Chain A
Amino acid sequence: MNSLLHRRDFFASGSHWLGAAALGSLGLGGASGAVPGPHFTPRAKRVIYLHMVGGPAQMDLFDYKPQLQKWYDKDLPPSIRNGQRLTTMTSGQARFPIAPSKFAFSPAGQCGMWMNRQLLPHLSRKADEICWMRSLHTEAINHEPAITAMQTGNQVTGRPCLGSWASYGLGSGNDNLPTFVVLVATPSNREQEQAISARLWSSGYLPGEHAGVSFRSKGDPILYINNPPGVSNSVRRRSLEGLKAFNQRHFQRLGDPETQTRIAQYEMAFRMQASVPELTDLSKEPEHIFALYGPEARKPGSFANSVLMARRLAERGVRFIQLYHNNWDHHSNVAGRMPSQCRDVDQPCFALLEDLRQRGMLEDTLVIWGGEFGRTVYSQGGLSHENYGRDHHPRCFSMWMAGGGAKGGMIHGETDDFSYNIVRDPLHISDFHATVLHLLGFDASRLSYKFQGLDGKLIGVNPAKVVKALVA
């Protein structure tokens, strides 16, 4: 309610506020009084969050467990499982045979991060710029609640996601693009995709302008951004000029400030129409950029292409870019699926970090990579030396982040020999959220919005701690 009063005050106090007020009301800008602003100087001014939908297997990528080789096809000791709940996809299995990773691990960088350099050769070259986190944990064991919890801090839908909080807290950094943009990349292999939902980027109980705006690789990049067939820009321009004249006339008659807001919105829509083609036209990117991101970057909708688009959005002042890459739900055929998943993301992730570094943007751009949970060390379904499957596992999983104040070369947290339970420095997703908000300049316990009589927060009602070890 306060923001409304402020906005109207601006209208009342003079036309120079119009642009700012309009910006604030449409998720295209943060100049209105509604933006709380950071509590202290942010380390990160923008975020590129690469969400791996389905839950990548930590012990096949970042959580090295050499001891497992001698456990091949032996049963997971009951002392490790400790009676913890399993999904119904494997709880009925007669056995829980250990499946050691079939991939080659070796240490990367000065920090000596043991990782799957066989499938992630490019990314491993950035080991010392990356903050590795091997002790994430969550309560949720199935995709929908887990991804909702990962993004909104709660398994129950309806809360604002991290991107909406960033939009609400920091406002926009530009005046002709949305504040919070969503990109859904198309993986090379789509056979094990999980459904994701537009509700993941809804603004929850925050005002609607903080919802993510989906940029699409097919059809209009922003919904309805293109003029109808047969309507040229000059026709549209004239039409909008006439529209403005009519609206002005109406404003003279009724004097409602909302009419002026609407006039500003139509101007903004036209500016968006003008700026989006330039944004989405990758043909102007130089050869060396395509060499950096790899040939897939030319293919609309690929992960490489989407990551390059994310960099362009970040460059133009978009505050939060949420990118989804699907097909990480490897209940079976890890051997067949993992290589193409890694091929999709390896070079582009390296390229993004390198590209941002070269542009001087890495230091204030936080890049996050990770899924909604981890996977089990025991095989789901058949196990052979060549192949295995892995079920959902919420008790530990690995993520990484880089830039934006995250500590490069940090290897945080440790799991037991089975990558099943955490033995050192557990990192609950809520603490992770508090840490990300900290990098954005917020005290997570104070970034709140009144809703149904409560101070709604990303971290919910329980305390969460900033993990200082992750901060440079």
Chain B
Amino acid sequence: MRGQYDQVGEEVRAEVPAALGRLPNDAPRNRLGLARWLVSAENPLTARVAVNRFWQEVFGQGLVRTPEDFGIMGAAPTHPELLDWLAVEFRESGWDVKRFFRLLVSSATYRQSAAVTPLKLERDRDNGLLSRGPRFRMDAEVLRDYALMVSGLLSQRMGGPSVKPYQPEGIWDVVGLPGGDTREFVQDKGENVHRRSLYTFWKRMAPPPNMEIFNAPSREVCSVRRERTNTPLQALVTLNDPQFVEAARVLAQRAMRAVPNDDAACLQWMARRVLCRPLDAVELPLALQSLREMRALYEDDLNAASSLLGVGITAGDADLSKAGCAALTMVANQWLNLDEVLTK
């Protein structure tokens, strides 16, 4: 008893926790019996927990705010009937995940504007009543992938060993054992620098800092919900990390190639890629002014322009004006830091 293998107590047989129900009498007392019970109509918990996590993925927070805990210490659902309806819908569709996500993203609730009015702020500050569409800062991996995607750098290759994109010096060294095989970080070359963040090599004693700073879980324990902080250290990542600076530069190069000699049209081309919309009548003059100021600064300091254009492994475009490209890089860098871009 009490974990001692040589102190045998009363014989017990496999069963599910009593609070959750019972296995049917004729069910085999093994994993098959448990599996059948898990997905049976008599056990609504599996489908509820699953749809709550899908909901969280799309809406930023679950109908149950504690997706890891549906027990007495967890939060009660904000919309219990909806949760049940979704659970039954999911189960009866044959557990069709893709169909379920389509249902969520095509719903009127999801397609509402995310705008916050004073009334909504007063009555529904945390959007618990779903009075507006979801709006939340994207996760660490998504942010990096997004910057790579809009700049055209993102590798579409799937699978394979983990990769080592840019990382500040000394991250592994200070925590590594002498002679350990992950003491020295050696950055990858070529395409591996631009793979999806999912493939980034993860040393748990010193995770990639640009992921960690944006609340990526440590991967030491399972995590079904992430924190979503908003800190100046995050601003420093998206402003200064070579990964983001290179993405801005390559985006600027592409924009100048696509729309040469027309600042306004070039900015609009870039806006469609980064913001998924054109600049409005207030923003365009702001952006034009920014671009021209930056260009003037870089025309006075072509060395600085060259330095900026040298960030990252991707080749520069020698045909483009250095000052112009550096200036547009700074505009792109600015846009990749917009609240609108960092936020879903």
Residues on A lying within 8 angstroms of B by beta carbon are 1, 4-5, 8, 12, 25-28, 157-158, 184, 190-191, 193-199, 202, 207-209, 213-214, 216, 218-220, 222-232, 234-236, 238-239, 242-243, 245-247, 249-251, 253-259, 261-263, 265-266, 268-269, 272-273, 452-453
Are B239 and A238 neighbours in the complex by a CB distance under 8 Å?
Answer: no
Question: How far does the alpha carbon of A145 sit from the alpha carbon of B118 in the complex, in Å?
Answer: 51
Of B177, B204, B229, B240, which is within 8 A of A209 by CB? B229
Are B218 and A199 neighbours in the complex by a CB distance under 8 Å?
Answer: yes
Per-residue A-contact encoding for B224-259, CB less than 8 Å = 1, 0 else? 000101111111110111100100000000000000
Is B115 on the interface with A (CB-CB < 8 A)? Answer: yes
Per-residue A-contact encoding for B284-305, CB less than 8 Å = 1, 0 else? 0011011001100100010111
Are B339 and A250 neighbours in the complex by a CB distance under 8 Å?
Answer: yes
Residue of B nearest to A232 (CB): B304
Per-residue A-contact encoding for B101-144, CB less than 8 Å = 1, 0 else? 00000000000001111100110011000000001010000000
In the complex with contacts A202-B218, A235-B294, A195-B309 CB distance below 8 A: no
Question: How far does the alpha carbon of A453 sit from the alpha carbon of B308 in the complex, in Å?
Answer: 50
Q: Name the 7 nearest CB pairs between A and B, nearest first.
A: A230-B308, A230-B307, A453-B73, A269-B232, A229-B307, A269-B235, A26-B231
A-B pair number, CB within 8 angstroms:
209
Total residues of chain B contacting the partner, CB 8 A: 82
B residues within 8 A CB of A158?
220-221
Interface residues of B in 283-336 (CB under 8 A from A): 283, 286-287, 289-290, 293-294, 297, 301, 303-311, 326, 330-331, 333-335
Chain A proximity of B76: nearest CB distance (Å): 13
Is B169 on the interface with A (CB-CB < 8 A)? Answer: yes
Is B28 on the interface with A (CB-CB < 8 A)? Answer: no
Are B169 and A255 neighbours in the complex by a CB distance under 8 Å?
Answer: no
Residue of A nearest to B248 (CB): A228
Per-residue A-contact encoding for B333-344, CB less than 8 Å = 1, 0 else? 111011110110
Residue of B nearest to A260 (CB): B339
Chain A proximity of B26: nearest CB distance (Å): 35
Are B339 and A245 neighbours in the complex by a CB distance under 8 Å?
Answer: no
B residues within 8 A CB of A234?
297
B residues within 8 A CB of A5?
125-126
Are B239 and A258 neighbours in the complex by a CB distance under 8 Å?
Answer: no
Is B206 on the interface with A (CB-CB < 8 A)? Answer: yes
Are A208 and B307 neighbours in the complex by a CB distance under 8 Å?
Answer: no
Interface residues of B in 170-208 (CB under 8 A from A): 170, 174-178, 180, 204-207
Is B215 on the interface with A (CB-CB < 8 A)? Answer: yes
Is B18 on the interface with A (CB-CB < 8 A)? Answer: no
Are A222 and B233 neighbours in the complex by a CB distance under 8 Å?
Answer: yes
Are A230 and B290 neighbours in the complex by a CB distance under 8 Å?
Answer: no
Chain A proximity of B15: nearest CB distance (Å): 23
Is B69 on the interface with A (CB-CB < 8 A)? Answer: yes
Are B309 and A230 neighbours in the complex by a CB distance under 8 Å?
Answer: yes
Chain A proximity of B184: nearest CB distance (Å): 14
Chain B proximity of A210: nearest CB distance (Å): 10
Are B294 and A239 neighbours in the complex by a CB distance under 8 Å?
Answer: yes
Chain B proximity of A79: nearest CB distance (Å): 29
B residues within 8 A CB of A242?
286-287, 289-290, 331, 334
Question: How far does the alpha carbon of A232 sit from the alpha carbon of B71 in the complex, in Å?
Answer: 54
Are A198 and B175 neighbours in the complex by a CB distance under 8 Å?
Answer: yes
A residues within 8 A CB of B337?
243, 266
Are B232 and A266 neighbours in the complex by a CB distance under 8 Å?
Answer: yes
Question: How far does the alpha carbon of A273 sit from the alpha carbon of B307 in the complex, in Å?
Answer: 20
Are B230 and A261 neighbours in the complex by a CB distance under 8 Å?
Answer: yes
Question: How far does the alpha carbon of A340 sit from the alpha carbon of B34 in the complex, in Å?
Answer: 61
Question: How far does the alpha carbon of A188 sit from the alpha carbon of B123 in the complex, in Å?
Answer: 61
Is B260 on the interface with A (CB-CB < 8 A)? Answer: no
A residues within 8 A CB of B125?
5, 8, 12
A residues within 8 A CB of B126?
4-5, 8
Chain A proximity of B217: nearest CB distance (Å): 10
B residues within 8 A CB of A197?
175, 204-206
